[in-house]
Chain A
Amino acid sequence: MRIVSRSVPLYRRPMVRIILTSLWLGLLSLPLMIELDAAYFGLKRPLMVTGVVATLGLIQWFVSQWGRASPVWADRLAEAGGATFRGLIRRIDRRLLYVLAFAAAVVIPLGLNRYYIDVLTQVGIYATLALGLNIVVGLAGLLNLGYIAFYAVGAYAYGLLATRADVSFWQVLPLGGVLAAVFGVLLGFPALRLRGDYLAIVTLGFGEMIRIVLNNWDSLTGGPNGIIGIARPSLFGFTFSHPIHYYYLILAVVLLTIFSVDRLNQSRLGRAWTAMRDDEVAAEAIGIDLVKTKLLAFGLGATWAGLAGVFFASKMTFISPESFTFFESVIVLCMVTLGGMGSIPGVILGAALLLILPEMMRQFALYRMLVFGAAMVGMMVMRPKGLLTARRRTVPLWRKGCAGSTVVGGPQATSTELRPGPSTGSGRADPMLQPSKEASMTLLETRKLSVDFGGLRALDMVDLSVMAGKIVSLIGPNGAGKTTFFNCVTGLYAPTSGEIRYRGENLVGVKPNHVAGKGVARTFQNIRLFQDMTVLENVMVGGHCRMHASVVGAILRPRSVITEEEELVAKAAELLRFVGLQDKSELWASQLPYGDQRRLEIARAMASDPSLLLLDEPAAGMNPQETNALMELIYAIRASGITILLIEHHMRLVMGISERIMVLDHGVKIAEGTSEEIRADSRVIAAYLGRESAHA
């Protein structure tokens, strides 16, 4: 160790770096200390310099400890701490932990004075806000910098209705939520076509617009003076007046929020959000309606802000635009990010920390926000993913029996659709599985399909038809337009001209999710699995477009929804067994080796019950054994009644399994026929090997 540290140049040593950084920051802050006409040039200045430099130096120290030069003790400490904590959690039953937390939340405030109860109530309000924003940011991966506007909508809804129309708190509470949801969806519409950072400014602008309107529409909102004398809630003659009453009320709201957000996250919708966050293209291709899913995220996220707003107005009995500034949006966003995006306990922890810590720093009064800003930077640098990182549960856990049996992936074949996959036997020979009855029907047909990219004609008048129940290959040199063809069929690209018909229905202009809904599924050349999901969930999300659970259904979980989920889990497990991944269902998709990732993508596509499966280079990067297994798998898929169109460069595979082969070159179909015909076709040989060889 000693030798190593000696070889490090002096200026790179952690201690020296810290000192240098601190000195540099001190130097940098000096010019701003100069204030020649100052009335208050006193002791404060030098103190401040020291304070600032110390704070920043400290941050730099933490960074160097956790980052590049992480010393052994820090790692050990973190590891031991983590292990102990995790061990503790594991030993105590989760439910017991929740009951304890709930009991603490109920009992502890009884022993506190009004001030602390108020702080805890604030924590409750912000926890509700943060959990709502977590739906948008953490689960759906959409940035929202104007979230506080929905809080304002709720607050002003109650403020106005209570002062002008004398409507009761209990009536406005749901109304405020709904109203905020409406605003959320309104904001969602322009946001639909935008991604990432464009969304940031639009949402920021939306938040500002709401605040400016509240500030200037004097006749309605009272302008900067706000609304005063808002009625406190009362119930059966009992009026909420003491802080503790409000505390218990917000506790109930928080519990309701946790319950709903957790159930949403575990539902079909939660999976769709995660999938969309990971990869919008793949999500749309497996049948997720991006428009609906995004709008639901915005609307549902806003609902909680609306509820919190109604509560806030009733507690303060006074509201003004000042409570709804951009800074508030930032604070809520910080709570979500700091606690750990997507994790419910993390978000609540974030809310608690960001409210309680500044309260504890009250004695530093003026320096509070300074330290707050620096701490935000420091926290992010130390733990960029937040304090508690969220991992999706592998399987819906609300029914232990169901979860247990599927994760283990035993041999209990619950589904009758599919028989053992190629790893266990020959699916092809199974008498149960007859090829589709519509065998002679044309499933997919294109006529004069052309696609232009600027001046480049990627597809030129392609006529192609795929008969039901066949295995058809689309081959051609690189850049021939094969993947473009897939993208046209699945709705990712709009063709410049021509027709695409599936079962006689037009597919031109149909959105990718509807194409998937009609029964066309696909895989991607560059594997597009959802990395933040487990293997099993990747398959489950594939079944999205065949499920019906609504938002209300996801939260209330009636019998039908539970059955639907159970069936989906069983189906997914069955599909995993079919492709030979039954032992890996609990792994993360990113942990799978390459060949397995390809097979998982096939299983995911099959979960949408397609009649036509488009496979884009399924054998790319596979070794000979894997390729053989893949051939078996493709036969087995066809045997289960699915027509297959595949793009492939692996000629042994193509020639071995295809009943019909079409060849594209420079966007033009140059040949079509059986493998023997294609092998002998001089134009195909010319396309692959050049003209000389064709004549040879």
Chain B
Amino acid sequence: MLLQQLVNGLTLGSVYALIALGYTMVYGIIELINFAHGEVYMLGAYIGIVTFSLLTTLHLTSPDSAVTLVCMMIAAILFCGACGITIERLAYRPLRTAPRLSPLISALGVSIFLQNFVMLAQGPRDKGFPELFIQGGLDLPGGRISAIQLFIMATSVLMMVGLHLLVRRTRIGKAMRATAQDKQMASLVGIDVNRVISVTFLIGSALAAVAGVMVGMYYGLINFYIGYIAGVKAFTAAVLGGIGSIPGAMLGGVLLGLIESLGAGYISSEYKDVFAFAILIVVLIFRPTGLLGTDTSKRA
């Protein structure tokens, strides 16, 4: 029972972490809560289905080959990346010097727009996600790890390691870190801040896209409103870990997943979200900047 809940929690947590990374990176650079980020994740899941049906109806690949899955992922990444950049260009960039609340409202507008767009385009009903080749699982003494769960955890870890290397070891990563610390100074030393922001949105959206496809596979059903709740959870995870901090988002995501799944398993599944938020509030009371966040409060 405990092991099973831990496995479920870790699976859920790694998905939250992937989405939370998008929130935290964008926040780190332009201090905006990108409420449309959850919708980007939802778009990723839908693009996964669309790609699958295209490939299989046109008999390009067989439904249970790995190629199909890779194509779905790539299509989702490309599409969501493009969406992320477009959203930033149209809805956030004109508001960069506006009062703090304006881009937030704009983000909520984008979120409402995308939800309704997908509802109109793909219909309001649940959509079944295709069963892919990843089947079976491992039976352990205290529970069972399905192959999909393993796949999700492995992919998430891989993506996070990749992101870490990108941010720490590459030129663009260095530019991102510099921009996050001081936009103006970064532009003075020759960093194209707009490009860095676009790249940040691209990366964040790509991670969300991967999360979308994986969650679709995991639950087997998707809907146009999955973005909202996943977005809220991932944002909670990002804040829990310390918003703006990349390792914080990973830690926050995994913790939140575990809290939820243990809470649902041992206490009450109806109230699992209440636990998640309650723990967030308690953590913030004692550590106002989250678990791994740095204190940026300005004093005289």
| A residues in contact (CB < 8 Å) with B | 21, 24-25, 28-29, 31-38, 40, 44-45, 48, 52, 56, 59-60, 63, 67, 137, 143, 190, 193-198, 200-202, 204-206, 208-209, 212-213, 215-216, 281, 285, 326, 330, 333-334, 337-338, 341, 366-367, 369-370, 372-377, 380-381, 384-385, 483, 486-487, 492-493, 524-525, 528
Contact = CB atoms under 8 A, between A and B. Distances in A.
Contacts of A369: 112, 115-116
B280 A36 contact: no
A515 to B, nearest CB: 13
B106 A487 contact: no
Contacts of B54: 34, 36
Given A38-B123, A366-B120, A381-B106, A194 B101 contact: no
Given A209-B278, A373-B109, A190 B98 contact: no
B157 interface: no
Contact of A381 (B95, B101, B122, B123): B95
Given A35-B121, A377-B110, A208 B300 contact: no
Q: Give the size category of B's interface with A.
A: 35 or more
B57 A36 contact: yes
B288 interface: yes
Interface in B104-139: 104-106, 108-118, 120-123
Given A196-B100, A197-B33, A281 B298 contact: yes
A377 B113 contact: yes
Interface string B284-300: 11001110000001111
B266 interface: no
A384 B94 CA distance: 9
Nearest to B83: A28
A521 to B, nearest CB: 14
7 contacts: A36-B53, A212-B271, A285-B300, A330-B112, A372-B109, A380-B91, A381-B90
Interface string B267-279: 0001101101110
A381 B299 contact: no
Given A380-B103, A380-B106, 4 more contacts: A25-B86, A31-B50, A205-B277, A385-B98
A216 B297 CA distance: 38
Contacts of B254: none
Contacts of B288: 193-195, 198
A350 to B, nearest CB: 11
B82 interface: yes
Contacts of A198: 239, 243, 284, 288-290
A438 B38 CA distance: 65
A482 to B, nearest CB: 12
The secondary-structure label for the interface of chain B is: helix
Given A36-B57, A143-B101, A370-B117, A377 B109 contact: yes
B110 to A, nearest CB: 6
Interface stretch (B146-154, B166-174, B182-190, B228-236): B228-236
B112 A373 contact: yes
Nearest to A27: B82
A373 B105 contact: no
B281 interface: yes
A202 B94 contact: no
B47 interface: yes
B284 A202 contact: yes
Contacts of B284: 190, 193-194, 198, 202
A208 B274 CA distance: 8
Contact of B116 (A206, A208, A213, A373): A373
A385 B102 contact: yes
Contacts of A60: 90
Interface string B37-81: 000000100110010011001000000000000000001000100
Contact of B110 (A44, A137, A373, A487): A373
A372 B112 contact: yes
Nearest to A281: B300
Contact of A384 (B82, B99, B297): B99
Given A31-B79, A34-B53, A35-B123, A381 B94 contact: yes
Given A67-B94, A202-B280, A281-B298, A341 B101 contact: yes
A347 to B, nearest CB: 13
A430 to B, nearest CB: 34
Interface in B155-184: none
A363 to B, nearest CB: 16
A614 to B, nearest CB: 11
A377 B118 contact: no
A475 B276 CA distance: 52
Contacts of A143: 101, 104
Contacts of B110: 373, 377
B27 interface: yes
B113 A370 contact: yes
B105 A334 contact: yes
Nearest to A39: B123
Given A212-B270, A326-B228, A337 B105 contact: yes
A616 to B, nearest CB: 8
B299 A281 contact: yes
A135 to B, nearest CB: 15
Contact of B117 (A52, A334, A341): A52
B236 A201 contact: yes
A457 B196 CA distance: 38
A53 to B, nearest CB: 12
A33 B239 CA distance: 35
B37 to A, nearest CB: 13
A216 B109 contact: no
Given A190-B284, A204-B232, A528-B300, A385 B123 contact: no
Contacts of A333: 101, 105, 108
B235 A201 contact: yes
Contacts of A483: 300
B157 to A, nearest CB: 26
B86 to A, nearest CB: 6
A29 B117 contact: yes
A38 B124 CA distance: 12
Contact of B86 (A24, A40, A208): A24
Given A28-B86, A333-B105, A212 B274 contact: yes
Contact of B120 (A34, A56, A367): A367
Contact of B114 (A31, A338, A373): A373
A370 B120 contact: yes
A212 B285 CA distance: 22
A525 B297 CA distance: 18
Contacts of B75: 31
Nearest to A63: B94
Contacts of A25: 86
Nearest to A372: B112
A493 B297 CA distance: 13
Given A35-B121, A341-B101, A366-B120, A209 B33 contact: no
B50 A377 contact: no
Given A32-B43, A36-B54, A198-B288, A190 B95 contact: no
B63 to A, nearest CB: 13
B116 to A, nearest CB: 4
Given A28-B82, A341-B101, A375-B109, A205 B123 contact: no
A380 B95 contact: yes
A486 B299 CA distance: 12
B88 to A, nearest CB: 12
Contacts of A215: 270
A197 B277 contact: no
Contacts of A487: 299-300
Nearest to B108: A330
A21 B299 CA distance: 44
Given A35-B121, A200-B33, A205-B277, A190 B100 contact: no
B127 to A, nearest CB: 9
Contacts of B108: 330, 333-334, 376
Contacts of A36: 53-54, 57
B70 to A, nearest CB: 17
B55 to A, nearest CB: 10
